Chains A and B, each alone.
Chain A
């Protein structure tokens, strides 16, 4: 290890192994290493570089450091929903044999939205309150609002990946596998993106509006209703006989994602395409705007 030359710090703690000050004093090109240097990039180019580098960091952290954690976190719940509701219930006669066909688009929507939501909300609460990791991002040469937008974009990407993995999972778990003969793949792709962004927008609002000491309560209070009022486990039109509940579900962005997926992947009845588009645009527009504003409020006092 390092030579201990300086007598003044001769007893320097071994574990920290500081190089002796004198040695470093002689370093010839210190100015080359640490001296100030004017920025190399114009503001706009710097912003673009920073945005991409933040995405790179997130991709690296997810893929290289914790890929299994990410998949387990995203897929355990949908796996059980598919298995219990799509396979076990029909098997024991508590649900119709074709229930799985209706269930699959709902579970894709659910996984997409919740994975994106948690990707933003949890990381923001932790980074703003406990680890303060967000500070290094906020000091990167990029406007504070775009740091929030980048969080949203990356969480949407995570949601999309998790949503896609539901397809092979359905093939394995559901009786008779997938029935996707009449699926509209372009519509599916648009809904994946829109659903991911919608979920991440909800997460951005939660992550910036909820104080850290309340996050447990809020998660429990928000997630369960979100899960069950989102037309996940039932097609929206089948609620005709339960009008008041049908109206409530319209306030949940997940309803539009699930119904959209149902429209894209099955031939069954679903909410009208125009309503789905409107619901998604309004959800993303309002929640996204509120979320980014709240994010700026947290980032700049």
Chain B
């Protein structure tokens, strides 16, 4: 059996979780809501994060467009996704929610705009 001491990052409370991994079961304690159980299990089996960054935007009222992965992606893919993001340019006008990179690095997750930028 393996035991992990984690801090839940699902919300700012940051519960101290204890995750016990047995042959065929994972149990979580220390959580104060069901999200903690979900996070605890995921963090020791397939950890993932949402990536946020910016891309250059041409012809807009400001030079950078903020973006995010629509949902979380595997943690070990963060830097590959960042490489793709750095190569990407958007063009104004952009609306919040517009897809900027489809299916980034074959994660099945799109990178979307988190800001609306008008044409200059």
A binds B: no
